[in-house]
Chain A
Amino acid sequence: MTATKAPTEPPGQRTVRRPGDRLFAASAKGSGIFILLVLAGVAAFLISRALPALVAPAEDIPGGAGLAGYIAPLVVGTLLAAVLALLVATPLAVAIALYVAYYAPRRVAAALGYVIDLLAAIPSVVYGFWGLTVLAPALLPFHEWAAEYLGWIPLFAGPASNTGRTMFTVGLVLAVMILPIISAISREVFIQAPALHREAALALGATRWEMIKMAVIPYGKSGVIAGAMLGLGRALGETMAVAIVLSGGAAATLNLISNSSPSTIASNIALRFPEATGLDVNTLIASGLVLFLITLAVNMLARWIVNRRADFSGAN
């Protein structure tokens, strides 16, 4: 090969670049940098405005227990609501996606797809009122039942709420809200499972369910995780629905069914911000900074999970 190379040609010579290529490369690079700038701007804003609360003496922070004491229960509440929502919504969303993609008759599948997408179009205020007026009263019997028979699990320690406006109800409302996101993304990746591999499974004598286990779910796994993380992002940041439904206390408790559950970061900011002054504002922004960091960590975790077995992802 070296013999055919022109002697004047410098090593690593640059290829000819056409104007169209250059334009596209520049605009793509610009967009990428723009996103980083926005992200950095948000982070800078949060840090600068949260700084007074970070350095303030503990007794000046609302609640009097210092910044960590103020934010910790909110973090617990935020994670509890979001994780509960995710645990309820993900299996359901995957089942719906598989049904729509591989089991439902074509017409039913299309109709069901629209209905699910429609769920995503409902404003969160409406979900909040639905949770408050319909779901919370409807779940009261379950609260009492859980307190009596599942009380030995810390999550259901009770005493049962008499309004139903609990973390448990919030979790279910959030689950309904993130269901369309997860199921729509799962459905798309499941449908794209290559016919070549689905036929390979069927030709080996797989039943439809075995075919789905062999060729569809492994192929769609990273998509499902991505969808779940998008849903988790929405559940973590959801404000209105939580603010309307939850009547919480301020204790950092895992108890799902009592009236003492902590609020979430986002709903706490929404409820307190209008009347906040001085250091209170900085404290709320500091809690927002924590939410930002949590979301960032969740997304990085998801990416790590997806990349862990990249060799086997089917993308190569």
Chain B
Amino acid sequence: MAKRIEVSDLNIYYGNFLAVEGVNVAIEPRSITALIGPSGCGKSTFLRSLNRMHEVLPGARVEGKVVMDGQDLYAADTDPVDVRRSIGMVFQRPNPFPTMSIYDNVIAGNRLNSKRMKKAEADEVVEKSLRGANLWAEVKDRLDRPGSGLSGGQQQRLCIARAIAVEPDVLLMDEPCSALDPISTLAIEDLMAELKERFTIVIVTHNMQQAARVSEQTGFFNLNGVGQPGRLIEFNPTEKIFSNPDEKATEDYISGRFG
């Protein structure tokens, strides 16, 4: 069910402030696309515009087109709620619902999509999603306990289970490992490699080794100075970005000369 996303001439605003300018990019299905760049360059903002989470903030808006398999996500008759149901998101800080059990956390999105669900069916979705997120073995005996009792890495995998339980077309990950230790990070990276067989994955990361390890395509965002809009400087296969980038700025960034 993985789908292709095409972005053309996308400008992203916070009120009157132009945060990201003129993004044109095509994100391929069944692959991992990494977005790298210095802090404040707009990569997270861009990611949040793909599932219309950007406009949740007051005054935030976009201009331009985001098309997923022919469907214009910003068309007047497109409901942002439907967009978010087909494009899942994992956040920087693990955010399972603290008032819900592990079980209820996993099934939360499904309960929204189809109100009535048989117990057996729900059990199946929970097990499949938790297995998919490599968490089943660790939590299968305490599904009725609160999700907030898990470790940070387990919580993040719980959030991934919650996101994939609704079988989205695309999975967006906003620095999913930045709050995790190296072992948990490795677990999530292995998981991403499995998930890309089924989903289109876009990941924002500050960790360039991570981008190099997991992704097929890499986009480099940068900005000229404070108050200037961020831009997509270069978008190329990951191998090329890290060995022989087209742009001088990309090379400076990945070789650690700034940022």
Q: Are A203 and B97 in contact (CB under 8 A)?
A: no
**Is A205's CB under 8 angstroms from B82's CB?**
yes
Contacts of B43 in A (CB 8 A): none
Q: What's the Cα separation between A210 and B98 when bound, in Å?
A: 16
A252-B112 Cα distance, complex, nearest whole Å: 48
Contact flag A199-B53 (CB < 8 Å), given A205-B109, A219-B98, A313-B98? yes
Interface residues on B, range: 20 to 34
**One of B88-96, B194-202, B227-235, B250-258 at the interface:** B88-96
B84 & A314 in contact (Cβ 8 Å cutoff): no
Within 8 Å of chain B (Cβ to Cβ): is A207? yes
- Asked if A119 is at the interface of the complex by the 8 Å CB criterion, the answer is no
A69 contacts B by Cβ under 8 Å: no
Given known contacts A196-B95, A197-B95, A316-B146, A203 and B89 CB-to-CB distance under 8 angstroms? yes
Known: A218-B99, A219-B99, A313-B98. A200 touches B91 (CB 8 A): yes
Are A204 and B98 in contact, CB atoms less than 8 angstroms apart? no
A interface size (C-beta, 8 A):
25
Residue in chain B with minimal CB distance to A200: B95
Encoded as 1 (CB less than 8 Å from any B CB) or 0, chain A from 179 to 197 comes to: 0000000000000001011
CA distance A214 to B108 in the complex (A): 8
Whether B100 pairs with A204 at a CB distance below 8 angstroms is: no
Tell me if B8 is interfacial: C-beta within 8 Å of chain A.
Answer: no
Complex CA–CA separation, A201 to B112 (angstroms): 10
Question: Contact between A196 and B112 (Cβ–Cβ < 8 Å)?
Answer: no
Beta-carbon contacts under 8 Å, B135-175 to A: 145-146, 148-149, 159, 162-163, 166
Q: Within the assembled complex, what's the spacing in Å between the Cα atoms of A17 and B108? A: 48
- Distance (whole angstroms) from the CB of B161 to the closest CB of chain A: 12
Chain B residues closer than 8 Å to A210, beta-carbon distance: 112
> Contact check: which of A203, A206, A215 meets B51 at CB < 8 Å?
A203
Closest CB-CB distance, A104 to chain B, in whole Å? 13
- Answer whether residue A59 sits at the interface, using C-beta atoms and an 8 A cutoff: no
- Cα distance, A312 to B149, chains bound together (Å): 10
Write out the residue numbers on chain A whose beta carbons fall within 8 Å of the beta carbon of B81: 205-207
Asked if A312 meets B84 with Cβ closer than 8 Å, knowing A199-B91, A214-B108, the reply is: no
Q: Select A312's contact among B99, B112, B113, beta carbons within 8 Å.
A: B99
Task: Enumerate B85-123 residues with CB–CB distance to A below 8 Å.
Answer: 85-86, 88-89, 91, 93, 95-101, 108-109, 112-113
Is B56 an interface residue, CB under 8 A from the partner? Answer: yes
Q: Which applies to chain A's interface (DSSP): helix, strand, loop or mixed? A: helix
Name the CB-closest residue of B to A215.
B97
Which residues of B have CB within 8 Å of A200? Answer: 91, 95-97, 159, 162
Report the separation of the CA atoms of residues A214 and B112 in the bound assembly, to the nearest whole angstrom: 10
* A311 contacts chain B at the CB level, 8 A cutoff: yes
> Cβ of B97: which chain A residues have Cβ within 8 Å of it?
197, 200-201, 214-215, 218
- Asked if A202 is an interface residue, CB under 8 A from chain B, the answer is yes
Known contacts A196-B93, A312-B146, A316-B148; A202 and B99 CB within 8 A of each other? no
Chain A residue at minimal CB-CB distance from B98: A314
| B166–A312 CB distance below 8 A | no
Instruction: State in angstroms the CA–CA spacing of A221 and B97 once bound together.
Output: 14
Most chain A C-beta atoms within 10 Å of own C-beta, residue among B112, B113, B145: B112
Interface residues of A (CB under 8 A from B): 106, 194, 196-197, 199-207, 210, 214-215, 218-219, 221, 311-316
Q: Can you list 14 A-B contacts (CB < 8 A)?
A: A106-B58, A196-B91, A196-B95, A197-B97, A197-B98, A200-B162, A202-B56, A203-B84, A203-B88, A204-B112, A204-B163, A207-B81, A214-B97, A314-B98
Contact residues of B with A, CB < 8 Å? 51, 53, 56, 58, 81-82, 84-86, 88-89, 91, 93, 95-101, 108-109, 112-113, 145-146, 148-149, 159, 162-163, 166
